[in-house]
Structure 1
């Protein structure tokens, strides 16, 4: 493993970390296998924002006896909507936020988190709430010894920049991928992170899987995606998702890749005319859905169908508990989408195409 310093925390982190997004509905044994192989490879930074009990319990089992070897990041404001389709939900309720951090500590069998993120904040009004009330709660966790460092996770450069320059946080979690290479605001944000010595955790290096699903080639590879993210200002670690051991090994290949494999300039040339902010990256920050639709999974199936993979799309769609046709067109999801997309329109399109 190659290690870098995570900003002014001073903590060494492996350049390849692990995100939890694609482990969310996997069997516990598979989650444990992925996390333990990552540990054996020297991965020491694990981001765990999901609040669902099963994944938290599996991480607790996987990290048993090795907690002292790793940094674990939790998210203040990530919760879970109980029910048959139990979905992720962002919350700004302080009592709920606090309860889910205590739950995370208990299920991980630990008494502290290394990084406690103020979770998923993009809009100016929300920033005012998060940087005051939620930050005060986060500071209380730190004073109690239950969090070592404070972080901020966001998808919006202007909002993230406010957090970075405020001096309130030591770590920023932000999406960095090849499809948004020319974004000047992001460059300014990352430059500010260097200036303020805020460590950067790069999320969504594959743009929610879209880069590899739609543009994979000899040039566009997992290694190229990770190499690009790690080449940006201030980035200490990147946290790709991995649903299984094969995907984890694809990411870990970065560590022994050749210089030619790490060269992302051919990928940039291939993707230069492509933009990602106008397309869903399946992050599910739009949840919860009042009728239990897994919006990210539905949209992923829709995109598969639109690319011509009709049979694979129908199989994936058939496994979902709630069909897109149940959508109420209420618009709650659109109000939460960090990319300002129109999920209800996607649900209508999926219902028409896949049912």
Structure 2
């Protein structure tokens, strides 16, 4: 398993986490078996939005009765409806009861990451503020009941505004190459069904709002956990993908993990085999992870834009071109100024842009036509290394 660090959290998180969406309706003993198996493979982050008591009970037993550490990304604002199904609530008392029930059933005194559920519009944000839910969440954080406060969203514009408030330290965001084509503020259902996102639209590539969101999270040290990396499996089929060709899970995971700010991908897992397949990403080769073929799709025109895909490797000097360019893009977004976290991340690299000998081997390999040498020159000027 590969791991990444989140600012202020001692334990690094696994790049492949456990999305718990498909645990609903599963027998408790099966849930326990699934989580134990994931932990055995090094998975240490589980997303828990499901409010059903039997799921929470089983997860609590699983994380208590197995060696190791499973960090919980627990949601506020998810409650059980009258039929026992999940509903989204903005009622403060309901939210309190559900969150306290989650802690009781997990038999934990805190969750590592508390996520305010589904902030996709200004209306959503106003509702959690006016209802007192945001104040409640901040109080939980001040008492250590939530270690890091975040929110989930499918809307880059809304998410950016919330990140800019300075109140949040985590973001759970729907992220994959197809969703990144969304240049408008469509309803989440339209984005998820690719309505308005098609190959004949000739989109210009990743939406600027989404690029800016990822870069801001990177600059501020806000960790992004990814939902819907496979677009509910639609990207795995040539017939349903807007690119007209099938991607593999490894390519989808790698695409998400290449975006600035991303620390973990949380696929929904329903069988032991699916857990094995997801964890196998960490043993996949660079060729198996390579998603550069989407550059050929008419809906994905990204010529000249670094996608951080590392297709330019190997560099004879050992420069991690993707990492250098990622930090360079963050600095560009801030007018050439260096956010503290970005500067420190850059300095920590083993090899820097100043080590570039301008041999041009990277230029021949880049499928997106990026002038890597010019980028290394600019990074050397901005970062001084």
Output the TM-score relative to the length of structure 2. 0.66
In structure 1, stretches of 5+ residues that fail to align are 274-355
Are the equivalent residues in 2 in contact too, given 1:16–1:237 (CA < 8 A)?
Answer: yes
* CA shift digits 1:26-78 (9 cap, x unpaired): 22222212111110111111110010112111211211144871210111101
Residue number in structure 1 paired with 2:135: 136
Residue number in structure 2 paired with 1:75: 75
In structure 1, distance between residues paired with 2:255 and 2:239? 15
Are the equivalent residues in 1 in contact too, given 2:218–2:261 (CA < 8 A)?
Answer: yes
Residue number in structure 1 paired with 2:112: 114
In structure 2, distance between residues paired with 1:67 and 1:174? 30
Q: How many residues align?
A: 272
| Bigger relative CO (Cα 8 Å, ≥ 6 apart) | 1
Deviation of 1:260 after TM superposition, in Å, equals 0.6
In structure 2, distance between residues paired with 1:61 and 1:272? 46
Residue number in structure 2 paired with 1:286: none
* Equivalent in 78, 84, 87 of residue 85 of structure 2: 87
* Equivalent in 183, 191, 209 of residue 233 of structure 2: 209
Deviation of 1:180 after TM superposition, in Å, equals 2.3
In structure 2, distance between residues paired with 1:215 and 1:5? 37
Residue number in structure 1 paired with 2:23: 23
In structure 2, distance between residues paired with 1:251 and 1:216? 21
Are the equivalent residues in 2 in contact too, given 1:177–1:228 (CA < 8 A)?
Answer: yes
Are the equivalent residues in 1 in contact too, given 2:52–2:86 (CA < 8 A)?
Answer: yes
In structure 2, distance between residues paired with 1:156 and 1:62? 33
In structure 2, distance between residues paired with 1:33 and 1:7? 31
In structure 2, stretches of 5+ residues that fail to align are 181-205, 301-385
**Is 1:255 matched with 2:290?**
no
In structure 1, distance between residues paired with 2:29 and 2:298? 37
* Equivalent in 79, 101, 104 of residue 103 of structure 1: 101
Alignment of 1:308-319 (within 5 A): none
In structure 1, distance between residues paired with 2:239 and 2:121? 31
Relative to its length, the structure with more helix (as a share) is 1
In structure 2, distance between residues paired with 1:70 and 1:134? 26
Output the TM-score relative to the length of structure 1. 0.71
Residue number in structure 1 paired with 2:155: 156
Q: Relative to structure 1, is the Cα distance of residues 32 and 229 closer, same or farther in structure 2, using a 3 angstrom cutoff?
A: same
SS of equivalent residue, structure 1 residue 69:
coil
In structure 2, distance between residues paired with 1:270 and 1:54? 45
